[in-house]
Chain A
Amino acid sequence: MIPSPFAFYAPSRLDEAVRLLQQYGDEAKLLAGGHSLLPTMKLRLATPAVLIDLHKISDLVGVTVGERVTIGSMTTWSALEADATLCEALPVLAATIRLIGDRQVRNRGTLGGALAHADPAADAPAVVLVLNGTLTIYGPAGIRTIAADDFFVDMLTTALAPDEILTAITLDRVGPGEGAAYLKFAHPASRYALVGVAAFLRVEAGQVSACRVAVTGAGVRAERLTNVEAMLLHQPAQPDLFARAARGAADTLEILGDLHASETYRRAMVEVYIHRALVAAAASLRAS
């Protein structure tokens, strides 16, 4: 299978890429790792007239671990996996990366590409949500930032304007007294999340003093589960709390059914995975 014809640009500067986006508008697509876009183009489900490859923009690659962690949008999963400082600061990210695609997909695929594509079954969005992600975006008006909470709008749809580029992702570190986990029920063939849940907990004096929980794979987009978070906050961090918080948590959630898993089944699995992710996050609490 071969994509339909397109013009190819590989600018080395960000402003050049934005200028191309402005020039070609809806006809253009940005190319990151390409492991969602190129298969879609081969199936002719996408037929962009112009591809703008971001690989030559070196500013978009790299990791800075400071008070928070900042990751360039074009940094590949493999580069992140190989970064020992990053994996120490964010073990939950390192563990999640092992679950994404396969080795060759991770050699090409990027964090920024996954977020901007906003596949409803992608793993990264849930983790970025619970790590309080801040996304840096470059466009014709310059740089702006947006909270991950406001970024995922709908299926394959984000808050990015057509002429904007996601440049960096900033995440909270998992510090002392904190733990985080991401667990997914992977489709046995595609490895996409039939359901995935990420959880972040801070426990002080035995009580949950901060928490974030997010689900992916279940509905049209990854989203925070504020009802679960409200159940957890200021409660004793004990196993029965996690079971209670998960029970009925998916009742009000908009869930999609498809040929792989019915809506009812997914709803049940969301609750199972909320429970498991909370238990795993609590088990990973770092010594304070």
Chain B
Amino acid sequence: MVRISLTVNGRPYQGEVEPRTLLVTLLRDHLHLTGTHIGCDTSQCGACVVHLDGISVKACTVLALQADGATVTTIEGLAQEATLHPLQEGFWAEHGLQCGFCTPGMIMSAADLLQQNPDPSDEEIRHALEGNLCRCTGYENIVRAVRYAAQQMQSAQKT
């Protein structure tokens, strides 16, 4: 067992892990943050996307040890108290989910995109979400949801 310490959603965490522990296992089983999902287990579906030091990663393909000393943000860390993140609001307003399994990963990937590109085109949104699979929506409303969030965030900045 190896001792690690990291910050998850603003809270410090210290614990011991086996080297083979995946970051997603640490989040779900040790910290009980089950919003980060495990879908394919082979780095393709994107249900487990979280931010590691501000960059989106597939938490099923990063070792918990590799997050030692890092800052991790999961879907649970996006909302400000009772106020939803514009992406969370967008997925709700634009019906960007049906079963909801892919949604946390979709939102975390989209949040990474909007940090780097606050006004993406539909093509850029689709390119940025290539690593996230959805079996329900056909993606149209997901693109709309991201566009909704981008507009909300931009108008919030102007005011």
Contact = CB atoms under 8 A, between A and B. Distances in A.
A256 B64 CA distance: 38
A34 B44 CA distance: 13
Interface stretch (B79-87, B124-132, B136-144, B146-154): B124-132
B19 A102 contact: no
Interface in B60-97: 60-63, 65-66
Contacts of A34: 61-63
Interface of B: 2, 18-22, 25, 41-44, 46, 49, 55-58, 60-63, 65-66, 109, 112-113, 127-132
A53 B129 CA distance: 28
A39 B46 CA distance: 14
Interface in A178-231: 189-191
27 contacts: A2-B20, A5-B18, A5-B19, A8-B65, A10-B66, A34-B63, A35-B58, A38-B22, A39-B61, A42-B42, A53-B66, A102-B131, A102-B132, A103-B56, A103-B109, A103-B112, A103-B113, A103-B127, A103-B128, A103-B131, A104-B49, A104-B56, A104-B57, A104-B58, A104-B109, A105-B58, A108-B57
Nearest to A98: B127
Contact of B130 (A7, A42, A55, A103): A103
8 shortest A-B CB distances, which residue pairs? A102-B131, A8-B19, A102-B130, A3-B20, A104-B131, A104-B58, A1-B41, A38-B61
Contacts of B127: 98, 103
Contact of A78 (B21, B42, B55, B132): B55
Contacts of B65: 8, 10, 53
A219 B112 CA distance: 37
Of residues B42, B49, B127, which shows the largest number of chain A Cβ atoms within 10 Å of its Cβ? B42
A38 B113 CA distance: 25
B85 to A, nearest CB: 19
A104 B22 CA distance: 16
A108 B50 CA distance: 13
A4 interface: yes
A4 B113 CA distance: 34
A236 interface: no
A21 interface: no
B46 A55 contact: no
Contacts of A51: 19
